[in-house]
Structure 1
Amino acid sequence: MRKIPRPFKMPFGSGMIVEEASITSKYHEPTIQLLKFDNGDKVIRFCSYNKGRFSRSPLMVDEKDLRKLGKMTFLTIRDVTGIAQVIVKDEAGEKIEGVTRQSVIRIQGTIQETKARDFECEVKADQIEILANAKHPLPIDPIGRLESNIDNRLNARALDMRNQKTASIFKLRHHVLASIRKTLTEKKFIEITTPKIIGSASEGGANLFSLEYFGKQAYLAQSPQLYKEQMTLGLERVYETASFYRAEKSHTGRHLSEFTSVDIEAAFMDYTDVMNVLEDLVVDVYKYTLEKCKEEQKTLGINIQVPKYPFERISYSKIIDELKNEGEKLEFGEDLLDSHLRIVGKKHPGFFFLIDWPIKLKPFYIREKEDEPSLSRSFDLQFGFLELSSGGTRLHNPEKIKTRLKEQNLDPSKFKNHLQAFDWGMPPHAGWGLGLERLLTTLIGIDNVREVVLYPRDPERLTP
């Protein structure tokens, strides 16, 4: 129901419209409107071309409400535009015999006002056609009356999408992606698409899925790192939102074998600059979904809270000191384990940047700090204990890159296609990669990333 105060006069009502609702056809044409006036009048307005007739196709019979009362049957129907109540009797009632919940039907009838609290209007059905009957018993209850565990829901994911909470998660995901693209486009970033079948590891390491590629050894990309760096040579600011792959045998609610990453790379930016871009993007996502996803928030029982600027920037050195004060035996230069980050997360529960990591803990392409070469110009974005993003300033001197590759026991000859771009005048650049699924869990307030992926892939799940 939209609240749009404006004067309006009709034969059946006049005054200032305070609320207006429309039901639209599958072609997005308005078929009926419900108007509420400031004098208390409530009027259903029919568009001239349908003259009060209702014709919607297809519609799903919602399991939460299919009931008989004497000779009348009451159905709750829904499609992408919303839900409505249908009253079926007489000859039309004979056709509804045998229809199962979650079936797909076509209805024609007359719109009328209703006394039902949950609906603005109802439809008196004249004609009903069953387009597809749902076979029972169903593997899960899409209405949610009976709780289903996540594995059963994932095995019947298409049916699970009829659960309004599940559907709301993916509507939120849609709007998060829309917000990300909007923010980065406004900041002059160009969206690119990089290869997902590659000939060498993007970042070194062994956590790669390998495959035979026409008689050659190939891998599924674990990130767009090398390609997005190369693109700054000509496009300056680029981003990609795509699936990537890591063969990590992790069995947590935070890890996936196939995940969606949002990556940026920008010429003439330092790590402080791209931290600002990331901070803006995250806050924009929260603002955008707060405004655009009111129904989804209501369905999920959440209230999106926009994080405050600026995110705290905490150095690795300070975190080490904090952990030592908590009794942890940890020396400078050691990586932070999950147990360490959980301690840190209790003290810093919101968004914060963990900056200036030891250079030896970072990939070969990360640049050192000139005044402290043992440290790097790098950061992680944390939400409490949860790492959301990693980024930094990149090396753009090819000789330094070769040296760093050797220091990390990587063969520079396997990176020759990447290194040649640095001989053509590679500008200084910086960037980051952000885990979309993890960001969504912070937004929605859930612990398992599988909830925000249609068909997740992990060490145990390859189908459906």
Structure 2
Amino acid sequence: MNRTLIKGLNSKIGETVKLQGWVHRLRKLGKIAFLILREHSGLVQCVVNTREVDIKGLRLESVVEITGTVVKNDENVEILAENIRLISEVKEELPFEINKKDIEVNLDTILNHRVLSLRHQSLNSIFKIQACLTQGFIEFLKVEGFTQIFTPKIVSEGAEGGTELFELKYFEKKAYLAQSPQFYKQMMVGAGYERVFETAHVYRAEKHNTNRHLNEYVSLDLEMGFIEDEKDIMMLETRLLKSMLHKLKNECADELNTLEAKLPEIGEEIPSIPLPEAIKILNNKYGKELDIDIDPEGEKLIYEHVKKEYGSEFVFLTHYPMEKRPMYTMPADGGLTHSFDLIFRGLEITTGGQRIHNFDMLKKSIESKGLNSEKFSDYLEVFKYGMPPHGGLAIGLERLTAQLIGLGNVREAALFPRDRDRITP
């Protein structure tokens, strides 16, 4: 007899089936026991006559095989168990309870036992939502004519200017873990693909230890050619996010309900504020003194302002100063740039903008950052032979997931987080 998944039981009323999974809950009432079986497609109650089926020694989280008849019970189905076979026993007490609504231990304990923690329905739901978001990103961009690419994560130079790099020994040479696929995205636009994207890990060796930073995270990157300016990228991201949220609503309703997550609404346009104007708003309205950039508290305050004034949980902040942007960023008037960040519920989840496509301008910009342009010759080569106006963005997947669900720490949205202190499991 082949294994039947719990999600397919409604079509098998009256039939004998074989189920396999974990013992999620077990309650004994005299000669009858109620066993909740869990596997990746759901939960089902199994009714056990203990006079006929032995359950002695069966512990929570044991892996079992149950054979029984599917019956209808009001709006649900359940299994009248005829046989239970222990496949894999539990050797020790669990470090925390899996079958409660909330997992009542601190985050370090959860992450120290990450694989076990994912058996909890709420934590398990986080990464089903994350997978759906990523798939939505891919599906939308393929329809829009983008080609998926896969770029190296071992590189000879950094792509983000001032950001610290993880150095590694590469045989007899010095190399680094990639901060971003930025150079390769641009090169592939110039190679004639015009529109490309990648979903992959990136690495930042910044020595922070906050609830919003990781040293390894998943970046949803895209780059597209033949744009007018950064507004084309912002409009694309608006449609992209709408599509991703629509997919999430349709395909992850159970997971969203489990986490009591409320999805945001996106109108025709996401509000946009130039950074210098945002700084003035923060100064005048909240008494927050800022100079040329915005800090985490400022992101939260400008979100509060936009939510109140425009009813939006998203806001684009545009025209960051050149000194705060990488060397490939297209300059604008007044020392500013054609760049943007997207703030969602008070946290930056996207950085993007228009890139420099002129060879001489790009070479000069690299050198203005105190870098040796000769070290970027492979990157620069394509710009000598005709490069279209282009731009792109990068979305931090863990940050997006955390903000959508309402998690307090981005590590909760990382399957196996890597930060300053954690490199296991």
Normalising by structure 2, we get a TM-score of 0.92
1:245 and 2:216 correspond: no
Question: 2:79 pairs with 95, 102, 123, which one?
Answer: 123
In structure 1, distance between residues paired with 2:140 and 2:107: 33
8 Å contact from structure 2 (residues 67, 83) kept in 1: yes
Residue 60 of structure 2 is matched in structure 1 by: 101
Matches within 5 A, 1:374-393: 374-393=335-354
Contact conserved, 1:228 with 1:265, CA < 8 A, in 2? yes
* Residue 316 (structure 2) aligned to one of 338, 349, 353: 353
- SS at 1:102's partner residue? coil
Offset of 1:363 from its aligned partner? 1.1
Map 1:335-346 to 2 at 5 A: 335-346=293-304
What does 1:301-380 correspond to in 2, within 5 Å? 301-325=260-284, 326-331=286-291, 334-349=292-307, 350-369=313-332, 372=333, 374-380=335-341
Q: Secondary structure at the match of 2:416?
A: coil
User: Hey, what does 1:411 align to over in structure 2?
Assistant: 372
Aligned residues: 416
In structure 2, the partner of 1:33 is 10
**Cα pair 1:25 1:31 within 8 Å, conserved:** no
> Could you tell me how far 1:356 is from its partner in structure 2?
1.5
C-alpha change, 1:451 and 1:92, in structure 2 (3 Å) is: farther
Which digits, 9 at most, give the CA deviation of each residue in 1:234-257, with x for residues without a partner? 210000111000011212111000
1:143 corresponding residue in structure 2: 99
Question: What is the match of residue 459 of structure 1?
Answer: 420
3-state SS of 2:151 partner:
coil
How far apart, CA to CA, are the structure 2 residues paired with 1:330 and 1:59?
55
Change in Cα spacing, 1:296 to 1:231, as seen in structure 2 (3 Å) is same
Secondary structure of residue in 2 paired with 1:348: helix
| Mapped partners of 1:143, 1:90: distance in 2 | 22
Evaluate the alpha carbon distance shift between residue 221 and residue 136 of structure 1 in structure 2; reply closer, same or farther with a 3 A threshold.
same
* AA matched with 1:300: L
Check the 8 A contact 2:64/2:85 in 1, yes or no: yes
- Kindly report the root-mean-square deviation, in angstroms, between the aligned alpha carbons of the 2 structures: 2.1
The residue number in structure 2 matching 1:399 is: 360
Unpaired stretches in structure 1, ≥5 consecutive residues: 1-23, 35-43, 47-51
Q: 1:327 to 1:29 in 2, by over 3 A?
A: closer
Q: In the alignment, which residue of structure 1 is the partner of 2:117? A: 160
Could you say if the C-alpha distance between residues 245 and 380 of structure 1 is closer, same or farther in structure 2, counting changes exceeding 3 Å? same
Question: TM-score of the superposition, structure 1-length normalised?
Answer: 0.85
**SS of match in other structure, 2:301:** helix
Compare the two structures and name the one with the higher strand fraction.
1
Q: Is the 8 A contact 1:359 1:373 kept in 2?
A: no
Partner amino acid, structure 1, of 2:16: R
Amino acid at match of 1:132: S
Aligned residue runs from structure 1 range 178-197, under 5 A: 178-197=135-154
The whole-number CA distance in structure 1 between the counterparts of 2:224 and 2:8 is 48
Higher relative contact order (CA 8 A, sep 6+): 2
- Alignment of 1:176 onto 2:122: no
Letter in 1 for 2:96: I
Query: Match for residue 7 of structure 1?
Result: none
Shift of residue 169, structure 1, vs aligned partner: 0.9
Match of 1:84 in 2: 44
Structure 1 position 279 matched with structure 2 position 238:
yes
Correspondence for 2:248: 289
Match of 2:193, SS state, is: coil
Structure 2 Cα separation of the partners of residues 384 and 81 of structure 1: 31
The answer for unaligned runs of 5 or more in structure 2 is 308-312
The one of 153, 157, 160 equivalent to 1:200 is 157
Q: Does the alignment pair 1:59 with 2:21? A: yes
Deviating more after overlay: 129-138 vs 339-348: 339-348
Aligned position for 1:41: none
| Equivalent-residue separation in structure 2 for 1:360 and 1:375 (angstroms) | 8
1:258 to 212, 216, 221: 216
Contact 1:103–1:133 at 8 Å: present in 2 too? Answer: yes
Q: What do residues 355-376 of structure 1 show as CA deviations (whole Å, max 9, x unaligned)?
A: 122223211111112xx25221
Between 98-107 and 133-142, the greater mean CA deviation after superposition: 133-142
Aligned pair 1:220/2:177, yes or no?
A: yes
1:11 — aligned with what?
none
**Higher radius of gyration, 1 or 2:** 1
Aligned residues with identical type, % of pairs: 37
Instruction: Give the drift of 1:25.
Output: 6.6
Q: Distance in 2 between matches of 1:202 and 1:76?
A: 51
Give the aligned residue type for 2:34: F
Contact 1:286/1:443, CA 8 A, preserved across alignment: no
Aligned mates of 1:413, 1:226 — CA distance in 2: 15
Residues 1:71 and 1:27: Cα distance change in structure 2 (over 3 Å): closer
**Within 2, Cα distance between the matches of 1:441 and 1:131?**
36
User: Separation in 1 of the partners of 2:114 and 2:93?
Assistant: 16
| Residue deviations 1:354-410 (CA, integer Å, cap 9, x gap) | 1122223211111112xx252211111112431111111111111111111111101
Counterparts of 1:416-427 in structure 2, within 5 Å, are 416-427=377-388
Q: CA deviation at 1:265?
A: 0.6
After TM superposition, which residue ranges in structure 1, 4 or more long, deviate above 4 angstroms?
24-32
Change over 3 Å in CA distance of 1:183–1:139 after alignment to 2: same
